[in-house]
Structures are given as C-alpha cells and as structure tokens.
Amino acid sequence: MIERVGLLLLVPGLVVLLQAAADLPRVGDGASAPFTHVAAHYIDHAHEQTGAPNFVTAVLADYRGFDTFGELIVIFTAGVGCLLILGTRDDGPPPPDEGTA
C-alpha cells in the first residue's frame, strides 16, 4: 500500500519537474532574463548601492549576503560533524594498572 502511494506521488512530481525543466532557457542564452535584466542592474548600480570595490564582492557580500552566509553555515556544520564523527574513536578499555592488585 505504501509503495503504491509513493508511486502515485512520484509520477506527477516527475512530470511537473520535467515540464519545468523544459521551460528553462538554454544554457548561455543571452536573451534570458538573468542576462538582460539582472546582470545589467548589477553592473550599473553595484558600486553606488553597495560601495564594494568590484562586482563579485558586491554580489556575494551585499546582494546575496544571506545566501552566502547560509552556505557558510552548512559548510561549517558539515565540518564540525566530520570532526565529531572522526574524533570519537573507541580505543577499547584502558589498560589495567600494574601496581594495584
């Protein structure tokens, strides 16, 4: 029963994703919205709106600051998780003391 429900949800979801992918512009299409509207706005207004010395800094630090901060949190959390997993080795019981009986 659960497999059938999963299949009934998977097929329409796959159809929606494929339809959405078909509506995307071709890679590198110079007439798509990011190239015609967004990029021109960043190039024309980046320095005066942000005061950043270059466009890359303006986009990453100011326009997409929260997104970049979120990515840093994900990378930091993954690193801490790896350190916790690798740092918790069980070397077995401690050796017995030889001086006590």
Domain ranges of the chain: 54-88
User: Alpha-carbon distance 37 to 25, whole Å?
Assistant: 14
Q: Write down the pLDDT at residue 30.
A: 79
User: Alpha-carbon distance 91 to 86, whole Å?
Assistant: 13
- For the chain, the residue count is 101
Q: Write down the pLDDT at residue 57.
A: 87
Query: What are 14's two structure tokens?
Result: 């796959």
Would you put residue 94 in left (φ > 0), alpha (ψ -120 to 50) or beta? beta
Rounded average pLDDT per 10-residue block, the chain, 101 residues: 81 93 85 80 87 86 86 94 82 70 55
Q: Is 76 helix (H, G, I), strand (E, B) or coil?
A: helix
